Amino acid sequence: MSKITTLLQKMKSLCDNNNGKDTFNSPVTNEEISTWEAEHNIKLCDELKDFYLFSNGMDLRICFSTFSICPFDKIAFREGGLFGYGEFEGYMEIGNFVGDGSVICINRNYDVCCIFEGDAEITEYSLTELIERELEHLEEKIEYRKWKEQNN
């Protein structure tokens, strides 16, 4: 089992056990990924492959947070790049964290996941790091909510 799969299962469990709502779609197959890579003459990074082999996109809502990654068939670069701005031409949005203005991106080589926060520049993270970061953030929110309920 890949690290991405383990983290996503933990995230799903956290959501299920804390009145959250999640949508993890049926996974794509290795064959679908291989066909897509051949058609586009591109090789997806292992982390994205692992993610899509676990779920063909996701939407997770818990503690006023939303974390989403688009379905596999939505991965396609458009002219003008991310948000139509030239400086972000080499990036494409594949998901977001609603609430803090963050956008999950990949570069044109499909080998880096990035996060764009508000007006700031793009900061590079691996998909594993992004999921670990969001999982830690959710765990903190849940612990705080439990503490608050116990002390009211």
* 126: Cβ contacts below 8 Å, ≥ 6 apart: 47, 112, 113
Q: What's the pLDDT at 88?
A: 62
**Given its phi and psi angles, is residue 57 left (phi above 0), alpha (psi -120 to 50 degrees) or beta?**
left
Q: Is residue 104 a contact partner of residue 96, using CB atoms and an 8 Å limit?
A: yes
The whole-number average pLDDT for the span 48-76 is 86
Domain 3-150 has CATH 3.40.1580.10: yes
Q: What's the pLDDT at 7?
A: 92
Q: What's the pLDDT at 3?
A: 92
The whole-number average pLDDT for the span 9-36 is 89
Q: Is the pLDDT of residue 9 over 80?
A: yes
Q: What's the pLDDT at 77?
A: 64
Domain ranges (residues) in the chain: 3-150
Q: What's the pLDDT at 119?
A: 58
Q: What's the pLDDT at 29?
A: 96
pTM above 0.85, yes or no: no
Roughly how many angstroms between the first and final C-alpha of the chain, as a whole number? 41
Q: Is the pLDDT of residue 26 over 90?
A: yes
Q: Which residue has the higher pLDDT, 137 or 108?
A: 137
* Segment 42-60, tens digit of pLDDT: 888 888 899 999 999 998 8
Percent of all residues in the chain with a pLDDT value above 90, rounded to a whole number: 18
Q: Is the pLDDT of residue 84 over 60?
A: no
The whole-number average pLDDT for the span 116-128 is 72
The whole-number average pLDDT for the span 55-77 is 83
